[in-house]
Structure 1
C-alpha cells in the first residue's frame, strides 16, 4: 500500500488561569487547502491554531515528520 497523508487542524484556547488547552477535538481533512481554510477561520476566535500534515504508512504504522501548513497565535511545540 502507498503512504497516505494525515492532515489535521488543532485549535487552542486559554483557561481562566492562562493554561493553553484544546478548544475542540482535532479535525482531520482530506486536503491541505481545506485544512488551511478551516485554520484561518478558527484563528479569528481561538488563542492559537495549528494545521499540519504528515505522511503515514498504514501497513506498518509509521509516520513521517510533521509539516506545518498554517500556524497562528499561541500553540504548544510539536513533539
Structure 2
C-alpha cells in the first residue's frame, strides 16, 4: 500500500508493486523491462498512427505472440547449408 493506503499494480503485468516510501513518484511498473516494453509499445503506436494505421488489435501482454500452430506433427527442420554461419 502506498501513502494513500491502497495497493498499486504494475501497469504492464498487473502484479502488486512494493509499497512506495520516500520522496518522488511511486513506481508504475514492477520491473525495468516492463517499463521499457510499455515505452516501446507507446512509441510504436505513435509511429503507426503517423503512418495512418487506424487501429491495432492485439494484446502484447500475452506470453504467446505467435499464431496458433495447426494440429499435427511439427514441420521438418531444414539442415543448415555447408558454409553457413548458422
Q: So what's the TM-score if we normalise by structure 1?
A: 0.25
Higher RCO (CA 8 Å, separation ≥ 6 residues): 1
Larger helix share, 1 or 2: 2
Larger radius of gyration: 2
Report which of the two has the higher share of strand.
1
Relative to the length of structure 2, the TM-score reads 0.24
